[in-house]
Amino acid sequence: MNLDRGYDSGKTRTALAELSFTGEIARKGVPAPIQAGKRWVVERSHAWMNGFGKLRCCTEKRGRTVDFYLYLSATIVTLRMLSRRATSLYRWDSRPTTRRLK
């Protein structure tokens, strides 16, 4: 198991030993053996979903309502990504190059 510098502690090392995992933890001040170039897809997706305030502090009691807000935010995130990809792939000559369309 490869872990980053944030997990470099005695507590993590004992947990790895108890679970009989072989762990390679990057030491503080030493470059990590495996460099992640980009954020993980799941981490990035969670960050996008946390952008919706209704999901962060959801006080709804019914599960169907919570599911609705979750599905709505997932739909909005998906549509945003599709529109960003479409603007870079399908561009016509008279379209402005800036994001703010005038």
So what's the pLDDT on residue 96?
65
State the Cα–Cα distance between residues 3 and 33, nearest whole angstrom: 9
pTM of the predicted model as reported, rounded to 2 decimal places: 0.47
pLDDT for 41 beyond 70:
no
The answer to whether the beta carbons of residues 16 and 1 sit under 8 Å apart is: yes
Is the distance from CB of 35 to CB of 53 less than 8 angstroms?
no
Residue 101 has pLDDT above 60, yes or no: no
What is the C-alpha separation between 69 and 52, in angstroms, rounded?
9
Instruction: Express each pLDDT in 6-18 by its tens digit.
Output: 778 889 889 889 9
Confidence check: pLDDT of 37 > 80: no
